[in-house]
Amino acid sequence: MKKHKPKVAFICVHNSCRSQIAEALGKHFASDIFKSYSAGTEVKPKINQDAVRLIKDKYQIDMELTQTSKLLTDIPQVDIVITMGCNVNCPYVPCIYREDWGLDDPTGKDDIEFSNVIFTIEFKIWELAKKIENGIISV
């Protein structure tokens, strides 16, 4: 019997930086465990260029080739919602499981601070994959 692969939405207001990074790293590291999507309540014309550059440098992933800024209505219904730490009212999205990662927005900060957020997201992607794999989060 094939196991259900949960759909995970990484949600942030603008869907241009942290949630895009999480989508890219989720696809890169955990596509065998869950499906990754990102979206927001507003969109930006393009993904944060520092995020694009650093993800390309660190992981050889070109987010601009495979991702765009999307609205919540642009993604399928999901099982798990991860909010990035909007510091505002994050949008409500129906789901079976929800958590907030409480990440500061690195936009406009230096590469060191930006990289710290990226590495935190990578760690949390691995942690989420383990929780799903071990049945701690069941969907």
Q: pLDDT for 58-115, tens place per residue?
A: 999 999 999 999 999 999 999 999 999 865 666 778 899 999 999 999 999 999 999 9
Q: Please report, for the domain that includes residue 37, its CATH number.
A: 3.40.50.2300
**CB-count burial class (<10 Å; 0-12, 13-18, 19+) for 49:** exposed
The answer to whether the predicted template modeling score (pTM) of the entire model surpasses 0.85 is yes
Give the count of domains, the chain.
Answer: 1
Q: pLDDT for 13-68, tens place per residue?
A: 889 999 999 999 999 999 999 999 999 988 999 999 999 999 999 999 999 999 99
Per the domain annotation, does 2 fall within a domain?
A: no
Per the domain annotation, does 139 fall within a domain?
A: no
Per the domain annotation, does 138 fall within a domain?
A: no
Per the domain annotation, does 89 fall within a domain?
A: yes
Per the domain annotation, does 67 fall within a domain?
A: yes
The pLDDT of residue 88: 60
Residue 88 CB partners (closer than 8 Å, separation 6+): 13
Per the domain annotation, does 1 fall within a domain?
A: no
Relative to beta strand 35-39, strand 97-100 is unpaired
Q: How many CB atoms lie within 10 A of CB 54?
A: 18
What is the spatial distance between Cα 45 and Cα 93, in angstroms, rounded to a whole number? 23
The pLDDT of residue 85: 84
Per the domain annotation, does 43 fall within a domain?
A: yes
Instruction: Tell me the residue range of the domain where 14 lies.
Output: 7-133
Q: How many CB atoms lie within 10 A of CB 135?
A: 8
